Amino acid sequence: MDNLQSLHEYFEIGGAKDSRDNSKNLEKAFDIASWTEREGLVWLKAESLPQVIEDLWLDPKTRPVLLTHVGNDERELGHGFVLYFVFHFPGDFTLTLGARGIEEGFPSLSAFCPALNWPEREVQDLFGLVAEGHPDPRPLVLHPGWPEGFHPLRKSTLMTNTDKPNFQPKPLVFYPAQGEGTFEVPVGPIHAGIIEPGHFRFQTVGETILHVDAQLFFTHRGIEKLLEGKTIEEGLKIVERVCGVCTVSHSLAYCEAVEKLAHIELSREALRWRTVLAELERLYNHVGDIGNLCAGVGFALGNANGLQNKEQLQRLNKEVFGHRYLRGMVIPGGVKIQPSEEKIEFLKERLYELQADFEKWIPLILEHDGFRQRAVTTGVLKNQSALDLGATGPAARASGVVVDWRERHAYLLYPELQVEPQVETSGDVWARLMVRVREVRQSFELLDTLLSGVEEVRGSQDPQVTQSLHVSQVPGRIEPYSFAWGCAESPRGTDVIWLMIDQEEKIFRCRIRSASYANWPAVPLAVLGNIIPDFPLINKSFELCYSCCDR
């Protein structure tokens, strides 16, 4: 609560007086629109952003987690371009800072808040606004070669199916490495294996990596623009397909935002099934990721065991919920399928078997000296780097950052399950493996608790569980141009969706910040000083998705 106290003092909430010297300068700099127990919305001028965010971000007492950074074109509402910053403070308080009235540019904050590096460059590309003073203002999302002045997220840029902008690829821009004995190794975008596309430019001396530039966004399809003007149901279909293997997390975040806007309260049963789905997703992903880590060192037996375990978990998903990725299960207002009693019993039994199987093969990896020697001290992400870059999920927890959305924020049934974040401190490949191994065990336990609870309350079956409320068919339910965020802890970290709905109850803006997007900038830091042959292993230990990063 100390943290919130200083936050209250900072914004002079509840008559608290700020003892700082800068309080006088701030007096007129912000306007508190709403402040409740859990959420706050503060408007401020773009010019005062650096000061306020520097104070919040660099103060270890109030240091928040950056959930998302949203650019929005609200010129038709008379607000100009608007930037939103959503921060989460310990004590489960979410603060949205909004800066309205931006016309051509905004002050860049990346120099002291590196977590904003990519989001600011993205706003430059997609809105054509200038991040003034950005240390690395190269294009990010839109590769060189789009038509001059093409800024898709400006509302004035209309999209039609037949008239798509003409893209003539031009060479990508990389900073050159200089000096005797430095080599440049370009890798990608098409990689060897069944992997997604991205380009890595290594600068090396011998085999040791001096610098690597990750040029992603090859799979950028323009999903955020595609979502605009879609109904909430149509939007869900697309959001589910932002990432194939985090489909539950993305739809959970999306539905949370929708439900907040439409003031829908969920029944306990619906929350329980959502929690089950989220944990099943974590399970098959983590188990598969542990197996894939073995592929990074050419350890075929470990890989085979991980993949067969994952296959069984995916088959279980199909058997009980009808889809190997659990797609289409989470809908606004509830869940689509509530399994029958036999199915629940089957699910429970099968999970026991698969848990036992996991415990049988996992020592193969954990007790393998050769594997251990490749993984320990490889690809260290320092604690400070993880904090500065706003890393999330297993990547952050392996570097000693205690951040697990299931513990930080009260959502689904996690508060009563009392999830303990699994934290390691060494920040290397081994630490990220161990975080996953322990989270697999934790998920099996959580699922057992959740499914045992189902039987007790079966008698009072709530019809709302399996019923979609067809939010968009209830006119006037959502206040026009209101906005909300939704978050879910995916297997890769916290997925955040920020949603604004227009007066026709269609999507005005949907910003998707996936866990991979937050974590990608950490990979180039973790590989420094390692050798190129270890890059696939380090990359696999982060196990980031390209699709939901590129959107």
Partner 1 sequence: MWNLLKRSLRMGRLTESRLDQDAPHLHSLKQSWHIRHLDCGSCNGCDWEMSALLNSVYDLQRFGFDFVASPRHADILMCTGPLATQLNQAANATYEATPHPKLVIAVGDCAINGGVFKEAYGADSGVGEALPVHLEIPGCPPSPEDMLKALLKLTEKDRKSVLT
Site residues (CB under 8 A) for partner 1? 143, 152, 159, 161, 164-165, 167, 169, 189-190, 192-197, 217-223, 225-226, 237-238, 241-245, 247, 288, 304, 307-308, 310-311, 314, 324-325, 327, 360-361, 363-364, 545-548, 550
Of 89 and 371, nearer to partner 1 (C-beta) is: 371
Q: Give the angle subtended at the CA of 241 by the CAs of 235 and 244, to the nearest 5°.
A: 155
Residue closer to partner 1 by CB (options 253, 266) is: 253
The answer to whether the beta carbons of residues 52 and 18 sit under 8 Å apart is no
Nearer to partner 1, 86 or 499 (CB): 499
Considering the complex, what minimum distance in angstroms separates the CB of residue 470 from partner 1? 20
Which residues pair with residue 65 across a beta bridge? 88
The minimum distance between CB 339 and partner 1, in angstroms, equals 20
Cβ 371 to partner 1 shortest distance, Å? 14
Minimum distance from residue 312 beta carbon to partner 1 (Å): 8
Quote the least distance from Cβ 154 to partner 1, whole Å: 12
- Residue closer to partner 1 by CB (options 94, 516) is 516
CA 106, distance to chain mean position in Å, is 24
Taking the least distance from each CB to partner 1, the nearer of 126 and 347 is 126
CA distances from 60 to 2, 25, 54, 231, 408 (A): 12, 22, 11, 42, 17
Q: Is 345 helix (H, G, I), strand (E, B) or coil?
A: helix
Q: Largest Cα–Cα distance in the chain?
A: 75
Which pairing describes strands 330-331 and 334-335: parallel, antiparallel, or unpaired?
antiparallel
> Least distance from C-beta 328 to partner 1, angstroms?
10
Distance in Å, CB of 131 to partner 1, minimum: 22
Of residues 137 and 189, the one with the C-beta less far from partner 1: 189
Residue 370: how many CB atoms within 10 A of its CB? 10
Q: Which is nearer to partner 1, 1 or 194 (CB)?
A: 194
Query: CA–CA distance from 139 to each of 16, 106, 149, 155, 475 (Å)?
Result: 43, 16, 13, 20, 41
Place of tokens 């997925």: 495
Q: What is the 3-state secondary structure (H, E, C) of 466-518?
A: HCCCCHHHCCCCCCCCCEEEEEEEECCEEEEEEEEECCCCEEEEEEEECHHHH
Structure tokens belonging to residue 392: 């999330």
Question: Toward partner 1, which CB reaches closer, 343 or 368?
Answer: 368
Least distance in angstroms from the C-beta of 282 to partner 1: 15
Do residues 175 and 195 lie in contact, with contact meaning Cβ atoms separated by under 8 Å? no
